[in-house]
Amino acid sequence: MSENILVIGGGPAGLNAAIMLSELGVNVALVERDSFLGGNPKKFKYKFLFPDMQPADNVIGELIKKAESGGNIKVYYSSEVSDFKENGKKFDAVIKSASGSETKTFDSVIVATGFEHFDPARDAKYSYQLFDDVIDIKDLERMMGENNFVRPSNGKPPKKVAFILCVGSRDRHVGNQYCSRVCCTVSVKQAIEMREHFPDCEAYIFYMDIRTYGFFEDLYWKAMEEHDVQIVKGRIAEITSGPDNTVVCKGEDTLLRGPFEIPFDMVVLASGMEGGPQSPEISSKLGIELDEHGFLKPENVTLSPFKSNKPGVFLAGACTGPKAISDSITEGAAAAMNAYTYAVKNR
Amino acid sequence: MEYDENGVSIVPADLKKEIFEEARKDFRYEEYVRGCLNCGVCTGGCPPHRFFDFSPRIVLQKMKSKDPELIWTMMDEYVWACFQCFTCAMICPFLNSPGGVIAILREIAVRRGFESAKKVLKPYSRVLLKLTAYGNQLSPDMIQPDFFPDWGPHIGYASTDLSVKRKAIPMPTLQVTNLAWDVAPETMKELYDIFDEAGVFKIIESVDPSLYEIIQDIVDDVRSS
């Protein structure tokens, strides 16, 4: 008899966990809240991934294809775990979907419920939703993905675009003190992408610190040296409307200009990552710990970042904190190995 | 008072150290001064920054440096450029309050009767008098064309026949012209007790001794009535 393992969440981490377990011969129930697999990268149509600018479809599309091509994975679309109980060392879960509820016993569980993009409308100084030409990284990603890079206000191509980092991150006012880790690299990637495809369009990046960690630093240097992206140190204090249908960024260039007010055709806010409403929900449903940032808390952040505080329940991907897609895929595999070991031991 | 080549008043190093210690000991200090990333969002949003060489980021950075020399450079003029609007405190991602630091430093300057405080408070002596002697701030008889040239062409009309115009206001306490409203002696006496306890009279004595004498005459009159 083969093992039964529940995977909650069909983003990069959950998909990779499900695929690896399936290859080990485990029966996997993959519970996905949306009507499709792929998580946020699919939902917001990410087009190219850093650092090598490969099409997102090469990664996300591949994972989805593998998960959907049968094997031992049963995908429950538009569904949720509505009830969850411990049963000795195993777990009884009720999976609720459009076609009804199904109760099953699982040997172990992997939680890969991911993150939500910060909603920039929550920070009024950026005037998101007030001005059409103020968008955020996920909006731009979708625009690029749909080959529709124009100013939302008038449908014309922009000539000058600002990228603003740390929106919804590292800010006590919005309740997120942490760094969202990938937004710097994503913004630099987007600026390069924009300069490559629309060389007439100037790009400015306003930053507090540029955190293109590890080898992502290459992109940062490339943006300056090959694509003439203007990198300005200073957080934006206010976005107002300017003459000729522009949006004006007001701030202090703490290194060079001093105070500035620069008009742009378009502003892209690098909104960060949040645990979203799903994290506290799954935390109370499964009886696993939530951390002070609103993400799920690993048992030991260094030794076992993929374990929850409850034996048999494992964590993978951005549900434990802001993370790049590659890290989520790695954690999916790590959680799969641990969930499998737990299942086999307690068979 | 002598000044160095940067326009900073020359005082003994011990005094600078004392000022810093006094600011550090203020009960609000820990709440106002936290981490800082030099992001400049405070200065970017600062209204006086558009008009003067004044930056809340510099205020906070100098305070965080814990260097008495640097902090002293703000005591002559710098601290008085702030509007005390607290926009900086509202937008700082760390919840710092550069405006609050300014308030602490200004209070030190006033308490110690520094020259800069005296100079800044001089134009406010009429307001200070009304406020401390009667608990009012502005009164109708203060509206004079010479003092408020920026109040438009009707300032001349507004400043005449004050007692008649005040009578048109149907509230008995508002029918005075030397005060905003008629203040009961009991209220004034209570106010004086509060000012005494809080050291307000003492502060006025240190920044403006002649104003202090005028106020004390009124205080003595009211108290003995």
| Distances in whole angstroms, Cα of residue B95 to Cα of each of A171, A270, A272 | 8, 21, 19
Instruction: Write out the DSSP string of A209-255.
Output: S----GGGHHHHHHHHHTT--EEEE--EEEEEEETTTEEEEEEEETT
d(CA B86, nearest CA chain A) in Å: 13
Q: How far apart are CA B9 and CA B17, in angstroms?
A: 15
According to DSSP, the β-strands at A116-117 and A273-274 are: antiparallel
Q: Tokens representing A35? A: 């009507």
Handedness of CA A205, A207, A210, A212 (dihedral sign): negative
Distance CA B61, CA A233 (A): 16
Question: A236 CA to chain B: closest CA distance, Å?
Answer: 6
Among candidate residues A226, A242, A272, the one where a domain is terminated = A272
- Per-residue b or e along B13-42, where b marks 16 or more CB atoms closer than 10 Å to that residue's CB: eeebeebbebbeebeeeeebbeebbbbbbb
Q: What backbone torsions phi and psi does residue B151 show, to the nearest 5 degrees? A: -90, 10
How far is B39 from chain A, CA to nearest CA, in Å?
A: 5
**Judged by CB atoms within 8 Å, which residues 242-261 of A form the interface with B?**
250-254, 259
Model ipTM value? 0.79
Please give the Cα distance from A310 to B143 (Å, whole number): 74
CATH number listed for the domain at residues B13-112: 1.10.1060.10
Enclosing domain of residue A141: 118-272
**Helix or strand or coil: residue A153?**
coil
Which tokens belong to A311? 């034996």
User: How many angstroms separate the Cα of A232 from the Cα of each of A160, A249, A272, A287?
Assistant: 14, 12, 19, 45
Q: Are residues A102 and A157 in the same domain?
A: no
Task: Tell me the residues of B at the A interface, defined by beta carbons under 8 Å apart.
Answer: 37-45, 49-50, 55, 57, 91, 93-95
Mutate to test the interface with B, among A207, A252, A256 (most CBs of B within 10 A): A252
Indicate the residue among A272, A301, A320 that finishes a domain.
A272
| Own/partner pairs, A242-250, CB within 8 angstroms, 24+ separation | A245/A133, A245/A153, A245/A154, A247/A127, A247/A131, A247/A133, A247/A134, A249/A162, A249/A164, A249/A206, A250/B44, A250/B45
Chain A residues in contact with B89 by the CB 8 A cut-off are: none
Query: Do residues A47 and A35 share a domain?
Result: yes
**Total domains in the fold of chain A:** 2
Where are the domains positioned within chain B?
Answer: 13-112, 122-224
Same domain? A146 vs A169? yes
How close, in Å, is residue A178 to chain B by CA atoms?
A: 11
Judged by CB atoms closer than 8 Å, whether chains meet at B44 and A237 is answered as: yes
> Cβ–Cβ of B44/A170 closer than 8 Å?
no
| Chain A residues with beta carbon closer than 8 angstroms to that of B57 | 252, 254
Can you say how many angstroms the Cα of residue B189 is from the centroid of all Cα atoms in its chain? 23
Residue by residue, pLDDT tens for chain A (347 residues) are: 689 999 999 999 999 999 999 999 999 999 999 999 999 999 999 999 999 999 999 999 999 999 999 789 999 999 999 999 999 999 999 999 988 999 999 999 999 999 999 999 999 999 999 999 999 999 999 998 888 999 999 999 999 999 999 999 999 999 999 999 999 999 999 999 999 999 999 999 999 999 999 999 999 999 999 999 999 999 999 999 999 999 999 999 999 888 899 999 999 999 999 999 999 999 999 999 999 999 999 999 999 999 999 999 999 999 999 999 999 999 999 999 999 999 999 97
